[in-house]
Amino acid sequence: MSLYAEIIGDPVAQSKSPAIHNHWLSALGIAADYRACPVAAAALADYCAQRRDDPEWCGCNVTMPHKQAIIGLVDRLDPLAARIGAVNTVVRAGDGSLAGFNTDAGGFLEPLRPVLALPSRLRSALVLGTGGAARAVVAALAGEGVTVVLAGRDPAKARALLEELDPAGGHRTADLASFAAPAGRPRDQGGRGFDLIVNASPLGMAGQPPLAFDLSHAPPGSIVYDIVTHPLDTPLLRAARAAGLRTIDGLAMLIGQAATAFTLFFGEVPPRGDGDRALREVLAR
């Protein structure tokens, strides 16, 4: 028997997940494989039905546009995935049943943990996007007591998302287009600007429209975090670095969430003792 896991989505060819998981599998000497499998929205139900009957299939990671649609196709939802309303990891049990998890939230927070531990900590964040990844980001930040301004092309959708995830959190919404122009004044509730700006949308990804964001909305001392991984060094991150801001790239979240998924798939903790330096070198090739 040759065990395998995979990532599904549409598109999926650009995914770095196979390189990440196969690097860890090789390092641990595990005889298994991790693959990329393109799955169109219309084929998602058939895909899940076929994989249920494959004893060699450990599960899959799920990327756009399936993170919410796949919820109705699994047998059990982990409580965190149920609260977020998005699944990025599906695991097959021995009886063929499927369990849905969300490892995005923990992966997103991983590089922010040192900042969250400081007395000054993060207090306000601007999150761009209202899709499955944004749901995990908002839930993660709200869970840490961070006040969120959620910006989307449809503010009504953003409001519904906030009401669903954290109705008592005092969060606000904004029109994504308003951040393309220079800021007239700081936009968070305290009037001092945002501690964190997160691009949780596909804007800026290869093959997607660019992200129109004016860095006047990112005050000195703020952190700019772009979860896009293709390209890894996005225009937003380059502009933020040029402005002297701290940046976090999409690999930080991708590797963090992959580490939890790897353990769910293969039952082993991936080797990360070098701070992922060796893995990042592999991904940079």
Sheet holding 57-62, edge to edge: 32-38, 3-9, 57-62, 89-92, 98-101, 76-77
Distance of CA 96 to the CA centre of its chain: 27
DSSP letter assigned to residue 27: H
Closest CA to 129 of 17, 275, 250: 250
CB 21 within 8 A of CB 280: no
Q: Are 251 and 225 in contact (CB under 8 A)?
A: no
67 is catalytic: yes
Contact 4, 25 (CB under 8 A): no
Of 67, 92, 171, 217, which is the active-site residue? 67
| CA separation for the pair 30, 32 (Å, rounded) | 6
Backbone φ, ψ for residue 60 (5° rounding): -150, 155
- The C-alpha atoms of residue 195 and residue 90 are separated, in whole angstroms, by 33
Q: What are the b/e assignments for 130-157, b being 16+ CB within 10 Å?
A: bbbbbbbbbbbbbeeebbbbbbbeebee
Cα–Cα distance measured from residue 239 to residue 266, given in angstroms and rounded to the nearest whole number: 39
Active-site residue set: 67
